Chains A and B, each alone.
Chain A
Amino acid sequence: MATATVQQGTKLWSGGKSPFNVSYGKLMMWYFLMSDAFTFGAFLISYGTIRFSQNFWADPNHVFNAFPGFGHANLPLAFVSLMTFILILSSVTMVLAVHEGHNMNRKGVEKWLFFTILGGLAFLGCQAWEWTHLITGDHAVLVDGTLQHWGTTVSHNPWGREVDFNGQEVATPGPIAFGGYFFGITGFHGFHVFSGVIINTVMLIKTRLGHFNERGHYEMVEKAGLYWHFVDLVWVFVFLCFYLI
């Protein structure tokens, strides 16, 4: 919604009104999100530094190639694409909820918030499956001349360089940092999704109770929306750093 109706050239800094033409709460939400962007950025760049310092790093197409219900079929990137799609879609339903809020349409806000929460839960479910699959999977790894079966954890990385062992290609242990960064960063993002779902649920309850109609505006839903879009934004970069490149 076009909120910036203040004309350029008016005395914004002479007091009596917000120089940025937004409420205090919304402005602070923006600054919080900016600081959170630095936190995620620091994590991702630290991951990049370690990855650049290694001679070998696992090919994501090789690591993330499973899809629930398809057993051992080789489907690189399929599941994570579904997760991305779910999160983008839930971002759209959130904008639509904010939009209905501008129209003071309580029923509309309720409907779209509900779908947004559903999308968030679906994403968390997908992530839970993905983590379980990685941790409990067992891959043959050559350690000290014998074959061991490892899952992907913060201390075990079975996705190292492949070597020839008794005529068959077997992986060696890969850089240990892989699991720590993957679970750490996707976990931190998943925690953001989780708290976003909680915030959206609170918004839904408050909408149902008619609090925002009484107040005369749905700005709180807008602020929750900013947070939710930020979670989607971070996922775009996590998707890039862990799955695409």
Chain B
Amino acid sequence: MSHATTAVLQHEHDGKAQVKKIWRTFWLLLFITMAELGIGLTIYTIHKGEHPNHMLVLMFKGLVCILTLAKAFYIVSIFMHLGDEIRNLIMTIIVPLMLFIWFLAAFLWDGNSWKNLKNTDAGSRPYIEKVQDHPLPAKEKGKKD
């Protein structure tokens, strides 16, 4: 067998393995999505119950977040072939995205603190949740504030 035909056969073999990998990733993504769906519906049934366990709901939500990050990893690494690029390129994409860690922590913390301030009138009274968030009806069409 000449070198050329060996190369062609090798290429074809690689191609088949590649297609197999793509479909395997598809089934994996589908499986993770189904799992997320199952958790979503579990949260739904917990909420419907008499005394929903908030800790349990929070844990399930955390689990869904982790599964979503797994999905993101597979899409970027396999479908977008970032996993096949050289390390320096991968780092220039991934390292700036690390800002999101701070971004998420800071802003969600801020939102939570805002809620606490509202419920305690900036710390001047005990914490009581306001029952209605927007007591005023939405603005009517054509009417000025």
Contact = CB atoms under 8 A, between A and B. Distances in A.
Nearest to B22: A95
B139 interface: yes
Contacts of B29: 88
Contacts of A30: 82, 89, 93
A237 interface: yes
Contacts of B96: 34
A225 B75 CA distance: 12
A56 interface: yes
Nearest to A240: B68
B107 A48 contact: yes
Interface string A71-95: 0000011000100110011011011
A173 B78 CA distance: 44
A46 B15 contact: no
Contacts of B137: 143-144, 148, 173
Contacts of B138: 155-156, 173, 176
B132 A172 contact: yes
A244 B39 contact: yes
Interface string A122-166: 000000000000000000000110001000000110001100000
A233 B14 CA distance: 26
B103 A4 contact: no
B76 interface: yes
Given A1-B84, A76-B41, A240-B65, A52 B76 contact: no
Chain A residues touching B, range: 35 or more
B1 interface: no
Contacts of B139: 155
B81 interface: yes
Contacts of B22: 92, 95-96, 99
A84 B32 CA distance: 12
B44 to A, nearest CB: 4
Contacts of B68: 236-237, 239-240, 244
B83 to A, nearest CB: 9
Interface in A1-17: 1-4, 6, 8, 12
A156 B47 CA distance: 24
A91 B43 contact: no
11 contacts: A12-B88, A20-B85, A34-B96, A42-B103, A56-B133, A95-B78, A160-B133, A174-B133, A230-B80, A233-B75, A245-B64
Given A34-B96, A52-B108, 7 more contacts: A20-B92, A53-B114, A53-B115, A81-B37, A91-B79, A92-B25, A95-B22
